[in-house]
């Protein structure tokens, strides 16, 4: 049986990676085109998932390493909360999200060129933040990032 910390980190990794799969299905299967902030949040979800997976592997071997990686996962998830709330309250109100922090970061990392099916923004921020079950997409993302931060913080603080 896995220690509690490892279980929390594995759940965080699965949720974070599943969110990217859902975003890709919505984009490529249902035509919900992403903006720069949407694709930037995908990157953060992937970072959260990778850190949580690393923490899951480390948790069984070293308490300190598991706790440290869980804490890093929580910090990355808080960065995702910021990105999602920025999209909701700032970027979605602008006519364009061209050359924003999110777009510049994706371009600097060349993710939009290297993996366009995953990271290329194809909509404006106002167009991309459509409601899903009555809530704007960015708020769903923020809620999931909050959940990931709480799970990871709990894993980090486990004795």
As a whole number of Å, the end-to-end CA separation of the chain is 17
Residue 41: which CATH number?
Answer: 1.20.1550.10
Residue 36's domain comprises 4-157
Torsion of CA 99, 103, 105, 108, to 10 degrees: -80
Q: Across the 159 residues of the chain, what is the mean pLDDT of every consecutive 10-residue run?
A: 76 97 94 91 98 91 90 97 93 73 88 90 80 86 97 90
Q: How far is CA 4 from the centre of its chain?
A: 23
| Alpha carbon distance 65, 68 (integer Å) | 5
Instruction: Give the burial class of 76: count Cβ atoms within 10 A of its Cβ; 0-12 exposed, 13-18 middle, 19 or more buried.
Output: buried
pLDDT score at 93: 78
pLDDT score at 3: 64
pLDDT score at 41: 96
Number of domains in the chain: 1
């Amino acid at each position: 049986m896995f220690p509690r910390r490892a279980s929390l980190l594995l759940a965080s990794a699965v949720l974070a990676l599943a969110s990217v799969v859902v975003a890709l299905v919505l984009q490529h299967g249902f035509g919900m085109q992403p903006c720069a902030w949407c694709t930037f949040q995908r990157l953060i979800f992937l970072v959260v998932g990778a850190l949580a997976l690393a923490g899951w592997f480390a948790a069984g071997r070293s308490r300190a390493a598991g706790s440290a990686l869980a804490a890093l996962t929580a910090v990355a998830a808080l960065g995702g909360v910021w990105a999602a709330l920025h999209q909701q309250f700032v970027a979605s109100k602008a006519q364009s999200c061209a050359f924003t922090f999110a777009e510049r970061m994706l371009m600097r990392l060349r993710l939009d060129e290297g993996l366009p099916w995953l990271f290329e923004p194809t909509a404006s921020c106002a167009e991309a933040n459509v409601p899903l079950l009555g809530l704007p997409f960015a708020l769903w993302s923020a809620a999931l990032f909050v959940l990931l931060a709480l799970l990871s913080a709990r894993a980090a603080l486990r004795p």
